[in-house]
Every structure is written in structure tokens, then in C-alpha cells.
Amino acid sequence: MSVAAASRTRTGRARRTILAALLLTIAALLISAEAETRAGEAMLARAVIAPFTPGRAVASGSIVYFGIGTPEVTGLSITTLCSTTVLVVPLVLLAVAVLGVTRARSSRVGLGLALGVIVAVTSNMIRFGSAAWAYSEYGREGFDLVHRYLGSLFVIAGFIAAILLSLRIALRESSRRPIPDAAPRRRGRTRTVEAPRRTRRDDSPVASRESDTASPAEPPGPAAPLRRDRHRTGTRPGRKDRR
């Protein structure tokens, strides 16, 4: 291995180690600052709930109040088990495992994690919005049906989709990979292949037609004029000597 290749290998390992440590730090911060995370999630949920519920919607801490200005104001509390943190932290740990076990590129692991987090957060926000809409339209029964059953199944499906998407992007190899034997193949195409050599009946080699056209013709041997004389005169060589 050359010095440049060894240097690139060490740089890639250091980059992967730094990224894995950064992801572990993010996961630890999400768990320790879980209350603040739910407060920020409530603000995002308010923007989703407001268009589908009557009145105004306001976020206060981890609770989203909707129906403000109507006879009934309802608060939707985002608990720890309903928080998106429960979905995001496993995705982050999965990315750390991919960096440690496989040789996937760091950029692809980061891209897969980002898209997976977007899918998980979006599915949870859809559950919050649909639960608030079901309560405003059908009361407590509609809320329980959507939030506990339909919404939970939807979030589980979104979480599985986020995992599969993250792994697919992280472990997908580049389509443009160099072919190791491309150069020998190209060299082989430019070579001229010798044609098989023909042989006379006396096993003397004779050049092929291609070589005959490319090389100058050799002078005829002594047997050629004797054959021509025999065909012209009808006599055989040495007949005068016999007379």
C-alpha cells in the first residue's frame, strides 16, 4: 500500500469516528433534554393542527391548545411515549452501528439518517393532526380511535419505512465503480492477432493471405520455371542430355 493510500485510509477512519461520536452525543442530548424537545415538537404540531381544527391553536410547553375562540377549548398533551424522540434516537443509534460495522460512506450514512428522521417526524405530526381533527369532529370516541389505534399503526409503519430508507441509502453502493481489468481489455482490443499459418504438403510454413498482401512477394524457386517449361514444350527436363 502506498503512503497516499494509507493516509487516505487513516483520514476516512478518523472522519467516521468523529461522525459516530457526534451522533452518539446528539442521541444523548435528545434523551437528556427530552422536555425541551417535546416543547419544540408542540410548536411544530401547532402548525399542523391549526388548519384542521376550529378557532386558533396555541402551543404552551408540551401542550397544544386548539379551539381557542370557540365554546370548547381542548389541549393535546405530547407525552414522552408519544414524542418523536422515541423514534429519532433509534435511528441515530442505527446510523452509528452502520458506521461501525460496515464500510458505508459517511456522507451516505448522514443522508440516510436525515431522510429517515424527516419521515419519522412527518408521520408523528400527521398522527397529532389527525387526532386533533377527529376530536373536533367526533369527540372523545374519534380521538381514541385515531390516536390509540389508527395513528399508532400509522406511526409504526412510518418508523419502519424510515429505517428501511436509511439503510437503503447508507448501504447503496455507487453505480460508477472502476473496472479493474478495463485497461488490459482495451490493450487487448488494439492488438493484431496473427492469422494461423498454412503449411504445404512438405510441411514448410506459408504466410497467410493477409501477410502475402502486406509483405513483398518472394522470388519463385527453381521448381517454378521447370513446371512452366514442361507445360509449354511437353518435354521433361534433361531430355537433351539423354539424346
Max CA separation in the chain (angstroms): 148
Looking at the domain assignment, is residue 102 inside a domain? Answer: yes
Looking at the domain assignment, is residue 191 inside a domain? Answer: no
Looking at the domain assignment, is residue 184 inside a domain? Answer: no
pLDDT in tens, the chain (243 residues): 565 555 556 666 778 888 899 999 999 999 999 999 999 999 999 999 999 999 999 999 999 999 999 998 999 999 998 999 999 999 999 999 999 888 888 889 999 999 999 999 999 999 999 999 999 999 989 999 998 899 999 999 999 999 999 999 999 864 444 445 444 445 445 454 455 555 444 444 444 444 444 444 455 544 444 444 444 444 455 444 444
User: C-alpha grid cell for residue 66?
Assistant: 386548539
Q: Please state the pTM of the whole predicted model.
A: 0.67
What gap in Å lies between CA 147 and CA 126, rounded to an integer?
Answer: 10
Count other Cβ atoms within 10 Å, centred on residue 96: 19
Looking at the domain assignment, is residue 242 inside a domain? Answer: no
Residue ranges of E strands in the chain: 56-60, 63-68, 74-77, 198-199, 205-206
Looking at the domain assignment, is residue 85 inside a domain? Answer: yes
* Residue 137, CA atoms < 13 Å, CB-side half-sphere: 11
What's the structural domain count of the chain? 1
Count other Cβ atoms within 10 Å, centred on residue 112: 26
Looking at the domain assignment, is residue 206 inside a domain? Answer: no
Nearest to 62, CA basis, from 44, 50, 49, 74: 44
Give the structural domain span for 84: 8-171
**In this structure, which amino acid lies at residue 198?**
R
User: C-alpha grid cell for residue 29?
Assistant: 442530548
Looking at the domain assignment, is residue 215 inside a domain? Answer: no
Looking at the domain assignment, is residue 208 inside a domain? Answer: no
